[in-house]
């Protein structure tokens, strides 16, 4: 008889599943649905490492369990296939990125299939496939054609916007105004330019201001860029986090990224010129403590308010600032700045405040100008110390000469605010400012609009034409817009993207007018913003996804992926989803109901796996040595899914022994095993029912490691004896989500001709599963007529009512009168009756 040979069992069942399309997901089956989504991978040239299958195994276990529970399950896989490496390889070797990408995808498919995941391969998608990116371009086009209506808090078609009265009889101005409202718009934004390489670089290609390739200095250059107005959705993106089942830490990261701040806008008057400087502050209560003002170096008033004697210094400072990213400027370091020689008046007490310029104030946040309160803000304090500016304390608390006091307390030195607590004082000050028309309550977000263009070849072209009439979107019938073929992928040597090299492609004359095509491409994030919708209806060429199908499958019930996507991908896709929701194209405001982040699997040395450290483990080696089932069981057995854990090849031995033992018990090595078909003895029933309960609850809660331990304990107990058919079947069913190949093999050996995939999940009996269960006998007039397993210590009342409602007992007590019940807990219930 055969030994446990995964290399024989596994390909056999993978072929069976493929041939039978076992995992095809269908609508209209009348079953409840379950949609489990994996974050789809970038198919890199290096192939998968053992970290990839961690999340995939977890979703696969849940999917297999749900199928057995009677759910219609959608479990798809695809490729996030745009990305820099294929383009860089093309620049080096001339190989078209399409070819490299195809090769890498084929390798990923082979690897993923070798692990026996229950994907519906007919729904495979690839973001670089024209039939896919047609719809990415189509959604972009909708963003371009819509604006955000602050009244209804929804997207609105650009043609339905109500033009402001003062512009209504000026067609040119009206058009400009409309263009400014679009959710996809062009703006001048700095990009990284590397003169040495003659190319624009992506943020991830620049490290500390130097190109990752060649270590050449880079600079920030302004370039017309596509932006997406995600900021319009900030409040909804924040508020709707309450409705989803995600970990608190991920929700918090999104909240911080959105960064809602409430406070006030306050107007200050410039002493000599009466110009107005408006600031945003979260602490209007500290207005009496303001001792100077700071403008961002780019602030339009900086030059105007600068006295001639400081002009040269200012210009020099502005030039240096240009070469710094916001990130650099925000870092806490020695403060720098330039005094402008002008003063503003504090609106509450007419104190004169010197006006400075400093790079820690960003033009892109609030109003680009601040009132400085060094006594109660750390950055203002450091700046005041550096430039010997006054520090005026207005909150009772520790001395503020050496450090700012940012805590709470009662107001002091603040006239009508004196004695109030901070929160009350904020309210009172805002009321006062509003009444004086010197300010208003204001909410600000850290979230910035999304820079949505790249100067790359290997990305989705924008479906936009620049015409003399302005920007025009291509008609739907011209989608997908394919990129031109290129033979030389090297950069243009100018700020222009590679697509600009192909002049015939750039020239456009057609339904959208006459002009030239947009030559930027979309970022890699674009395709992943909506891929979960395409899986629902991957071959539809009339719509990105049919509404009825969307209605059936959405929202995603379980989404598993890496925590590195906590903000960008998960925020971008929520934004697109909300936009599609506004257009009535999807039915739920949120795409991902439950989100779980798997922990990273580290190398054997406890460090992150990386090529350069040489500690990458490939699933191929593991599958060929131990089999896919063992790899799956091991990865789930390593520890809690969300925890970070080090890989250990030696650790595979335990799971391997478990699978071998199960195989030996049910198949045997020397002779054919025969199964005992008599009813299960009580001791076996107990451990089985305990195991059904534990494994079911653990899968529901993704405690897959403890589910596996329970399976191991159960096997150890059961295998003390030759297998009973019933026990063997139940244990095989319980093991099947974890080790599906072996389970199919055993199921066949147990005499079944169908796949185990749709066998109903076993039910457990709460009484049998109870930890300390006892058997209680039910008697009628002293004769045992029935028995029942119950938790130890079950109350008299419960036992009595169980005896009375027991079907067998009822048949003995028909047509009798109950005289008395005798109950001895944990032992017996005796009904004393007399015939009627």
- Positions in the binding site for ligand ANZ (CB under 6 A): 261, 280-283, 286, 360-362, 365-366, 368, 370-371, 373, 376-377, 444
Closest CB to ligand ANZ among 368 and 498? 368
Element (H, E) at 787: strand 783-791
Give the Cβ contact number of residue 251 at 10 Å.
Answer: 16
Question: Alpha-carbon distance 130 to 280, whole Å?
Answer: 46
Question: Alpha-carbon distance 521 to 524, whole Å?
Answer: 9
Helix crossing, 97-113 with 84-93: angle to 10°?
Answer: 130
Cα dihedral 113, 115, 118, 120, rounded to 10, equals -20
What is the distance of C-alpha 494 from the center of its chain?
A: 36
Query: Could you tell me the smallest distance in angstroms from the CB atom of residue 282 to ligand ANZ?
Result: 4
Closest CB to ligand ANZ among 224 and 260? 260
Query: Could you tell me the smallest distance in angstroms from the CB atom of residue 208 to ligand ANZ?
Result: 23
Q: Is 248 exposed, middle or buried (0-12, 13-18, 19+ CB in 10 A)?
A: exposed
Query: Could you tell me the smallest distance in angstroms from the CB atom of residue 226 to ligand ANZ?
Result: 24
343 three-class SS: strand
Query: Could you tell me the smallest distance in angstroms from the CB atom of residue 261 to ligand ANZ?
Result: 3
Query: Could you tell me the smallest distance in angstroms from the CB atom of residue 421 to ligand ANZ?
Result: 15
Query: Could you tell me the smallest distance in angstroms from the CB atom of residue 441 to ligand ANZ?
Result: 14
Query: Could you tell me the smallest distance in angstroms from the CB atom of residue 590 to ligand ANZ?
Result: 26
In the numeric block, which tokens belong to residue 256? 């911080």
Element (H, E) at 344: strand 338-345
Closest CB to ligand ANZ among 370 and 687? 370
Question: Alpha-carbon distance 495 to 221, whole Å?
Answer: 9
Question: Alpha-carbon distance 741 to 624, whole Å?
Answer: 14
Closest CB to ligand ANZ among 411 and 707? 411
Question: Alpha-carbon distance 147 to 603, whole Å?
Answer: 48
Backbone angles phi, psi at 663, to 5 degrees: -65, -45
Closest CB to ligand ANZ among 400 and 597? 400
In the numeric block, which tokens belong to residue 705? 């490691």
Nearest Cα to Cα of residue 375 among 294, 263, 291: 291
Query: Could you tell me the smallest distance in angstroms from the CB atom of residue 28 to ligand ANZ?
Result: 51
Pairing type for strands 292-295 and 33-38 reads unpaired
Closest CB to ligand ANZ among 449 and 697? 449
Query: Could you tell me the smallest distance in angstroms from the CB atom of residue 309 to ligand ANZ?
Result: 26
Query: Could you tell me the smallest distance in angstroms from the CB atom of residue 365 to ligand ANZ?
Result: 4
Query: Could you tell me the smallest distance in angstroms from the CB atom of residue 444 to ligand ANZ?
Result: 6
Query: 139: which DSSP letter?
Result: H
Query: Could you tell me the smallest distance in angstroms from the CB atom of residue 564 to ligand ANZ?
Result: 24
Backbone angles phi, psi at 472, to 5 degrees: -130, 135
Query: Could you tell me the smallest distance in angstroms from the CB atom of residue 323 to ligand ANZ?
Result: 18
Query: Could you tell me the smallest distance in angstroms from the CB atom of residue 490 to ligand ANZ?
Result: 40
Question: Alpha-carbon distance 578 to 584, whole Å?
Answer: 10
Closest CB to ligand ANZ among 34 and 280? 280
Question: Alpha-carbon distance 402 to 391, whole Å?
Answer: 10
Closest CB to ligand ANZ among 83 and 337? 337
Pure H helices in 494-546: 503-506, 525-528, 531-534
Closest CB to ligand ANZ among 60 and 377? 377
Name the one residue in this structure whose structure tokens are 């031109």: 484
Closest CB to ligand ANZ among 371 and 391? 371
Give per-residue burial for 462-487: e unless 16+ CB within 10 Å, then b. Answer: bbbbbeeeebbbbeeeebbbebbebe
Closest CB to ligand ANZ among 87 and 442? 442
CA atoms within 13 A on the CB side of 226: 23
Cβ atoms of 594 and 247 within 8 Å: the answer is no
In the numeric block, which tokens belong to residue 562? 């890496």
Q: Is 31 exposed, middle or buried (0-12, 13-18, 19+ CB in 10 A)?
A: middle
Closest CB to ligand ANZ among 189 and 362? 362
Closest CB to ligand ANZ among 262 and 509? 262
Backbone angles phi, psi at 785, to 5 degrees: -120, -20
Closest CB to ligand ANZ among 225 and 286? 286
């Amino acid at each position: 008889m055969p030994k446990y040979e995964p290399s024989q069992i596994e390909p056999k069942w993978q072929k069976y599943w493929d041939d039978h399309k076992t995992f095809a997901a269908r609508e209209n089956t009348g079953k409840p649905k379950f949609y489990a989504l994996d974050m789809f991978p970038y198919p890199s040239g290096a192939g998968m490492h053992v970290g990839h299958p961690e999340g995939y195994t977890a979703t696969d276990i849940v999917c297999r369990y749900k199928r057995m529970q009677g759910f219609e399950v959608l479990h798809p896989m695809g490729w996030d296939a745009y990305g820099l490496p294929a383009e860089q390889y093309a620049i080096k070797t001339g190989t078209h990125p399409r070819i490299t990408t195809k090769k890498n995808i084929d390798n990923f498919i082979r690897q993923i299939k070798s692990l026996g995941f229950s994907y519906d391969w007919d729904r495979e998608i690839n973001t670089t496939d024209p039939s896919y990116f047609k719809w990415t371009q189509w959604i972009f086009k909708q963003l371009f054609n819509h604006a955000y209506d602050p009244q209804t808090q929804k997207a609105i078609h650009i043609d339905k916007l109500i033009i402001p009265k003062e512009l209504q009889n000026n067609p040119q101005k009206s058009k400009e105004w409309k263009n400014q409202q679009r959710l996809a718009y062009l703006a001048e934004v700095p990009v990284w330019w590397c003169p040495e390489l003659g190319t624009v670089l992506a943020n991830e290609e620049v490290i500390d201001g130097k190109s990752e390739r060649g270590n050449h200095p880079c600079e920030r250059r302004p370039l017309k860029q596509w932006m997406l107005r995600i900021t319009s959705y900030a409040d909804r993106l924040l508020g709707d986090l309450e409705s989803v089942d995600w970990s608190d830490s991920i929700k918090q990261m999104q909240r911080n990224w959105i960064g809602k701040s409430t406070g006030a806008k306050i107007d200050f008057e410039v002493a000599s010129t009466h110009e107005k400087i408006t600031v945003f502050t979260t602490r209007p209560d500290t207005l009496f403590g303001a001792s100077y003002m700071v403008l961002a170096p780019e602030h339009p008033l900086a030059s105007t308010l600068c006295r001639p004697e400081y002009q040269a210094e200012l210009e020099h400072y502005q030039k240096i600032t240009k070469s710094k990213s916001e990130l650099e400027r925000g870092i806490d370091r020695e403060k720098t700045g330039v005094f402008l020689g002008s003063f503003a008046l504090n609106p509450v007490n007419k104190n004169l405040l010197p006006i400075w310029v400093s790079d820690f104030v960003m033009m892109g946040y609030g109003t680009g100008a601040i009132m400085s309160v060094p006594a109660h803000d750390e950055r203002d304090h450091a700046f005041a110390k550096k430039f010997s500016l006054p520090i005026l304390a207005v909150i009772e608390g520790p001395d503020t000469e050496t450090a700012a006091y940012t805590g709470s307390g009662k107001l002091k030195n603040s006239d009508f605010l004196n004695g109030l607590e901070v929160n009350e004082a904020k309210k009172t000050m805002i009321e006062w400012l509003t009444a004086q028309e010197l300010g208003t309550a204001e909410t600000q977000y850290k979230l910035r609009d999304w820079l949505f263009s790249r100067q790359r070849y290997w990305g989705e072209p924008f479906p936009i034409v620049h015409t003399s009439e302005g920007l025009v979107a291509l008609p739907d019938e011209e989608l997908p817009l394919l990129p031109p073929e290129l033979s030389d992928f090297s950069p243009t040597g100018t700020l222009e993207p590679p697509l600009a090299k192909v002049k015939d492609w750039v020239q456009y004359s057609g339904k959208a007018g006459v002009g030239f095509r947009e030559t930027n491409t979309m970022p890699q994030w674009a395709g992943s913003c909506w891929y979960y919708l395409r899986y629902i209806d991957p071959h539809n060429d009339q719509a990105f996804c049919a509404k009825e199908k969307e209605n059936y499958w959405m929202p995603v019930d379980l989404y598993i992926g890496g925590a590195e996507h906590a903000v960008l991908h998960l925020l971008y896709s929520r934004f697109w989803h909300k936009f599609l929701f506004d257009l009535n194209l999807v039915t739920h405001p949120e795409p991902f109901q439950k989100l779980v982040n798997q922990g990273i699997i580290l190398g054997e040395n406890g460090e992150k796996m990386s090529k350069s450290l040489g500690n990458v483990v490939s699933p191929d080696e593991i599958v060929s040595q131990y089999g896919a089932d063992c790899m799956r069981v091991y990865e789930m057995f390593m520890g809690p899914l969300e925890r970070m854990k080090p890989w250990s090849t030696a650790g595979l031995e335990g799971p391997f022994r478990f699978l071998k033992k199960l195989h030996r018990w049910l198949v045997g090595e020397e002779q054919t095993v025969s199964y005992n078909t008599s009813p299960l003895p009580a001791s076996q029933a107990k451990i089985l029912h305990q195991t059904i309960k534990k494994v079911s609850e653990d899968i529901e809660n993704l405690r897959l490691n403890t589910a596996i331990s329970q399976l191991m304990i159960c096997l150890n107990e059961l295998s003390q004896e030759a297998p009973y058919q019933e026990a063997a079947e139940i244990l095989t069913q319980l093991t099947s989500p974890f080790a599906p190949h072996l389970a199919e093999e055993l199921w066949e050996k147990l005499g079944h001709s169908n796949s185990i995939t749709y066998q109903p999940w076993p039910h457990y009996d709460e009484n049998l599963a109870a930890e300390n269960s006892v058997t209680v006998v039910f008697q009628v007039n002293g004769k045992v007529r029935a028995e029942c397993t119950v938790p130890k210590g079950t109350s008299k009342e419960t036992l009595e009512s169980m005896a009375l409602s027991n079907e067998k007992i009822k048949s003995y007590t028909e047509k009798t009168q109950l005289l008395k019940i005798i109950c001895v807990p944990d032992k017996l219930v005796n009904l004393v009756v007399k015939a009627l």
